Structure 1
């Protein structure tokens, strides 16, 4: 019998240079896109959370999609990106012309002292930031078990939270600027490579700047969401789109904010109560969020209404709602302009 012929060994092919190139292009596009989308989603969550928290609501209850969070982040990221672009242009301009001025001028002790002074000031600001972040944590962990340390933790002043990222960013910029001045003065006659310490300094200051920008944008998103919520609340009284809600059961809403009317029980309709003086705050496919026209931060009231047969939502646009003095008056006994007494 003849022996079976041996099977050919598998041929392992390596990606060609062109395939490596396209893999690099795809990775270079996908990675930044994923990062940008993640940042947009995060700041959109922060913004909407601050917005609805002002009204006593949780944005998770409204089931926003990822696309909606990303879209809402534009109002936060657009001003931040404009500021970042302007600051980057100014920083590059100062860097280029500062290097040129240092290399053309005569070496002086004043320039060296200025570089070291910038580094020292930046280090002091960084130390203040670290203390402001670590001190509250130590106060929780240690408490009053060590009296001296407890006295230090409560006596040494700390930065307020909104000032921490700005102080961190300024400190990092001062350290980077001072290091750049010293490197430029040292290599003005014979160019030299930066030392390991200088590279590590630039790496750490760059990381500190990124952290400061992220932290500051986070605070700005929270502030922006609350300010927009306050603007929305201030316009509820004269909003032209008014909502009436018909229900089968009483809601026991506060009478000074929501006007209740009992419908005719003799008719065949299933709805027995009508509630007026409501405004749309959010509209979702399966639920509406309604707030009174006289909503206030001291006494907030909100309704999360499911979109089903148990309720009937009536939306009316009244373009002349705020044309008379009586309808604009918030001090009257009526809970909203649409149920106010007609002007005499």
Structure 2
């Protein structure tokens, strides 16, 4: 379709004028990093907003959430471009055009079903919501297939000679018109000439009938919004899943993490499975209490996040201790089967 590149390029220019690409990418990375952190610490019962993560913290976490989606999207997109170029070369043959005539309704029907499934899944719970990122990918893929089917239909119409011209060329000419037929037979084929004048301008499916620019722009804008929303929805669900998966893996490997001994000036009244409190009897000791059986998970926003070695989803607690001069941390190797630290 002639207006496709123009409409798409115009849409890209408008988006770039409204929002700088760097700001848009940074905002999306921050968004995905936020959900990664939220679900990671929610697994341990901690609200991530109390940890005062910086923008850099969220951006680093977004890489873990987007590595797989970005890699797969780039690979699928590259394969799609190569397949499209291969298909363009086959359009020159009549057999290729005949295959397209039967394939376009199939592609459009599949795209319609996927689009309806994705849209319905945004309104209510469907079987698509039960599989990770299946509902949003159905929406994005369905809209893409519908747009591509429309593009193929317009391309096929441009490459197919008008029926009237074909029948007139094959008909026997009246007497005295043989020279006219010979001259018409020497005219270039519409597929190879590519001249708009060779097409039937009265045919509304012909690309010679150019639509207004605003129509092409609106069409590309709707396609872009629907596909982008589906991809953002899918990446959001995947980021949440990755955050919770990382938390589960950490919980299963707590025994291999270095031990963290927490010293405090005052009693912190920590009551958690496997955590022991020892009171230091030395009156000159700067820290009067010692806590064993903990491991440090994160330090952020002047706060320590610690977990007991015996943490479980059913009875485990997470500790958020403010970083100050009243506490001190001491690190060591992972504890043995009977984690009993030395006396103060």
Is the structural similarity TM-score above 0.5?
yes
Residues 202 and 287 from structure 1, CA distance in 2 versus in 1: closer, same or farther, beyond 3 angstroms? closer
- 1:242 is aligned to 260
- 1:226 is aligned to 244
CA contact 1:103–1:185 (8 Å) conserved in 2: no
Matched, 1:171 2:142: yes
Matched, 1:261 2:278: yes
Residues 190-232 of structure 1 show CA distances to partners (whole Å, capped at 9, x for unaligned) of: 5525657787655433332212211111111111111111222
Using the size of structure 1 for normalisation, the TM-score is: 0.72
Question: How far apart, CA to CA, are the structure 2 residues paired with 1:199 and 1:187?
Answer: 21
The secondary structure found in structure 2 opposite 1:300 is coil
Matched, 1:133 2:118: no
Residues 107 and 248 from structure 1, CA distance in 2 versus in 1: closer, same or farther, beyond 3 angstroms? closer
The secondary structure found in structure 1 opposite 2:143 is helix
Question: How far apart, CA to CA, are the structure 2 residues paired with 1:114 and 1:68?
Answer: 48
CA contact 1:129–1:164 (8 Å) conserved in 2: yes
CA contact 2:40–2:246 (8 Å) conserved in 1: yes
Matched, 1:208 2:202: no
CA contact 2:51–2:300 (8 Å) conserved in 1: yes
Tell me by how many angstroms 1:59 deviates: 1.3
Spell out structure 1 runs of 4+ moving beyond 6 A. 196-199
Question: How far apart, CA to CA, are the structure 2 residues paired with 1:282 and 1:107?
Answer: 60
Tell me by how many angstroms 1:234 deviates: 1.9
The partner residue of 1:78 within 38, 63, 67 is 67
Gaps of 5+ in 2: 1-12, 160-190, 197-206
- 1:317 is aligned to 332
CA contact 2:264–2:289 (8 Å) conserved in 1: yes
Question: How far apart, CA to CA, are the structure 2 residues paired with 1:219 and 1:237?
Answer: 30
Gaps of 5+ in 1: 1-23, 137-156
- 2:183 is aligned to none
- 2:128 is aligned to 159
How many aligned positions are there?
A: 279
Residues 99-145 of structure 1 show CA distances to partners (whole Å, capped at 9, x for unaligned) of: 22123334655422310221122112211222222236xxxxxxxxx
The secondary structure found in structure 1 opposite 2:317 is coil
- 2:41 is aligned to 52
- 1:308 is aligned to 324
Structure with the bigger RCO (C-alpha within 8 Å, sep 6+) is 2
The secondary structure found in structure 1 opposite 2:92 is helix
Residues 41-78 of structure 1 show CA distances to partners (whole Å, capped at 9, x for unaligned) of: 11111111111111111111011111221222122233
Residues 217 and 305 from structure 1, CA distance in 2 versus in 1: closer, same or farther, beyond 3 angstroms? same
What is the CA RMSD across the aligned residues, in angstroms?
2.9
Using the size of structure 2 for normalisation, the TM-score is: 0.72
Residues 200 and 123 from structure 1, CA distance in 2 versus in 1: closer, same or farther, beyond 3 angstroms? farther
Residues 279 and 107 from structure 1, CA distance in 2 versus in 1: closer, same or farther, beyond 3 angstroms? closer
Question: How far apart, CA to CA, are the structure 1 residues paired with 2:268 and 2:260?
Answer: 20
Question: How far apart, CA to CA, are the structure 2 residues paired with 1:243 and 1:80?
Answer: 39
